[in-house]
Amino acid sequence: MKRFIGFVKKEFYHIFRDRRSLFILFGMPIAQILLFGFAITNEINNVDIAVLDHSKDATTKEIIYKISASKYFSIKQMITHEADIASVFEKGQVKAVLNFENDFSKNLINDHKATIQIVTDATDPNTANTISNYVNAILQQYQLELNKGTTTPYQIVSQTRMVYNPELKSVYMFVPGVMTIILMLVSAMMTSISITKEKELGTMEILLVSPINPFQVIIGKVVPYIFLSVINAIVIVLLSIFIFHMPVQGSLFLLGLESVLFIVSALALGILISTISKTQQTAMMISLMGLMLPVILLSGFIFPISSMPVPLQIISNIIPAKWFIIIIKGIMLKGVGIQYIWKETLILLGMTVFFIALSVKKYKIRLE
């Protein structure tokens, strides 16, 4: 134990005496939150939506047909009660619900005005915005056709309503993504670099010649990063709460546990990377190309998974970050408990165990 403390202490000296790692540790989270806080517009494609049709008349049928005929949407579900709206969102089955008022056709004919409500899932404000823009475009188109040759124009009014996050601050949706990136960066990249550094400098050899167990060496190297990752996660959550006034809906305890699970999976990946790279440069490149890029591009952080080409959607499943983002979005923004995210948690747990097993095996081989 005393040996171990010495080890951890030494690791902290390395970290605090290196400007680069200090920057990654403390500059990055803030820089990223600010950077990604700006909205980024996305394309959408084949987004699953639900329809709540109170009228079920010719006009609503035609509008529904037009919407489902567009390549942007696919109607996944017809629901019948207002109350179902919340539940389809909670289950994450659809990204939006179209809600037609009662007597839609009648209102349109009598009053020349009918109303449709576009309810979007505000946990993903960019997608939500894009969805309502696209629906509106389709409605406009329909309205134009309807008004051909008429003197008093018919008007279809759409109202957009966001659920979960009525205020719509886009930074909310980036917080889970930024947190994922930072944890990945600190846990996987920094550990792989710091282990490879010892290999490169030859100090790893000295450690292996000492009576200290090789696994202790690795644990001693990763513990500081677990610690720092947790601190980072806390800083990010605090920043979001106090600077962006993000409401964290769910249990902080669950959030903490899930974060530790993700951190451990990332550490295992970091160890894995260190077993296959000889130099810090290589470790960094592999971490960036093999971990950071997929996290940024394929995890659903920036580009909605539903609008990716199918092969990429399939690939996105093997990225731990995707599951972690689903989990923490659920906890932070929707306030769901474990009963809604146990599947994702189990997948993440399975991946973590797999990565640990693989890195232990690889590490053993490396010791020949």
Partner 1 sequence: MDNDKVIQVEGLTKMFGDFTAVDAITFDVKKGEIFGFLGANGAGKTTAMKMLIGISIPTAGTANVAGFDVFKQAEDIKKNIGYMSQKFALYDDLTVKENITFFGGIYGLSRNVIKEKSDVLITELGLQKVANQLVASLPLGWKQKLSFSVALIHDPKIVFLDEPTGGVDPITRRQFWEMIYKAANEGTTVFVTTHYMDEAEYCDRVSIMVNGKIEALDTPKKLKKQFNAATMNDVFLKLARG
Which residue ranges make up the site for partner 1 (CB under 8 A)? Answer: 2-3, 6-7, 9-10, 13-14, 17-18, 201-203, 205-212, 367-368
Exposed, middle or buried by CB within 10 Å (0-12, 13-18, 19+), for 166? exposed
What residue ranges in the chain does DSSP mark as E strands? Answer: 47-53, 73-79, 96-100, 113-121, 155-163
277: phi then psi, degrees, rounded to nearest 5: -115, 140
Distance (Å, rounded) from C-alpha 212 to C-alpha 58? 78
Contact 218, 270 (CB under 8 A): no
Where helices occur in 147-190 by DSSP H, the ranges are 170-184
Distance (Å, rounded) from C-alpha 212 to C-alpha 209? 8
Quickly tell me which residue has 């539903």 as its tokens.
306
Between CA 33 and CA 41, with CA 39 as vertex, the angle to 5 degrees is 140
Distance (Å, rounded) from C-alpha 144 to C-alpha 138? 10
Quickly tell me which residue has 């920094």 as its tokens.
190
Distance (Å, rounded) from C-alpha 94 to C-alpha 85? 10
Contact 179, 244 (CB under 8 A): no
Distance (Å, rounded) from C-alpha 104 to C-alpha 156? 9
Cβ neighbours for 348, distance < 8 A, ≥ 6 positions apart = 258, 261, 262, 265, 320, 323, 324, 327
Token output for 283 = 């470790």
Token output for 251 = 């249990």
